[in-house]
Amino acid sequence: MLTDLFSPSVQHSLDLAGIFVFAISGALLAVRKNFDVFGMAVLAEVTALGGGLLRDLIIGAVPPAAFTDLGYFLTPLFATLIVFFLHPEVERITKAVGVFDAAGLGLFCVAGTVKAYEHGLGLTFAATLGLATAVGGGVLRDILAHEVPSLLRWDRDLYAVPAMVGSAMAALLIHFESLDGTTIVAPVLTAFVLRLMAMKFHWRAPRAWHRRSAATEEV
């Protein structure tokens, strides 16, 4: 059980940290899209809470934490205010979005895996739901911002794979009864660093084997 692994305060802090960094990435993307402050807040809330809502509905943790904990709702608004007044120069926004998104990816894939395991899912399905927790908010963010989700585009750097690795590492640590407040840093950092390296070196997943189509991607 999750309560056996971490104290309630540690669990809550981990969730809020993931919510905050994902909200930052959502609000920064809204700035890049020239949204107003309301649009920034909406994109921040959806990015931060979308994956967690999906996770909680699937495991039957209802009402979802996003609707029972005021901190979950207010944290994205706080992130929006920070971005509204202190966002980087326009030419640096894309890089900032990527870094914060990678941080949220690492935090949420692990938090989602652990919470799913707490609610009785096997390790394989817990890791799968950890992946969904990590990428769900980003997918909704991109859709609302009128972009094809990075998760689905062959010409974008690896996004889901780092979350898969982080989730799998968390599941393995649970399996070997080695997950605690110290070792949890390993899967979070691994997913975060893998995502950053994918962005830096443009690592991409392969397309269909012996793909012969000359069709280009529609923009």
Asked whether residue 125 is assigned to any structural domain, the reply reads yes
pLDDT, tens digit (0-9, with 9 covering 90-100), for 143-196? 999 998 878 888 889 999 999 999 999 999 999 999 887 899 999 999 999 999
Q: Which residues contact 151 (CB under 8 A, 6 or more apart)?
A: 135, 138, 139, 159, 160
Is the model's pLDDT at 67 over the cut of 80?
A: yes
Asked whether residue 210 is assigned to any structural domain, the reply reads no
Contact status, residue 192 vs residue 102, Cβ threshold 8 Å: yes
| Confidence grade of residue 91 (pLDDT, cut at 50, 70, 90) | very low
pLDDT value of residue 213: 55
Asked whether residue 209 is assigned to any structural domain, the reply reads no
Asked whether residue 211 is assigned to any structural domain, the reply reads no
Alpha-carbon gap, residue 132 to 31, rounded angstroms: 26
Asked whether residue 48 is assigned to any structural domain, the reply reads yes
pLDDT value of residue 32: 87
Q: What's the Cα-to-Cα distance from 47 to each of 1, 22, 44, 65, 182, rounded to whole Å?
A: 27, 6, 5, 15, 27
pTM higher than 0.85, yes or no?
no
Asked whether residue 217 is assigned to any structural domain, the reply reads no
Alpha-carbon gap, residue 33 to 165, rounded angstroms: 31
Quote the tokens at residue 68. Answer: 């029972």
Strand spans (E) along the chain: none
Residue-number span of the structural domain to which 153 is assigned:
2-201
Give the count of domains, the chain: 1
Asked whether residue 213 is assigned to any structural domain, the reply reads no
How is 162-216 classified by DSSP, letter by letter?
Answer: HHHHHHHHHHHHHHTT--STTTTHHHHHHHHHHHHHHHHHT-----STT----PP
**For range 9-38, the mean pLDDT:** 87
Contact status, residue 12 vs residue 114, Cβ threshold 8 Å: no
| Confidence grade of residue 6 (pLDDT, cut at 50, 70, 90) | low
pLDDT value of residue 215: 52
Asked whether residue 188 is assigned to any structural domain, the reply reads yes
Residue 214 backbone phi and psi in degrees, to 5: -95, 5
- Count CB-CB contacts under 10 A for residue 214: 5
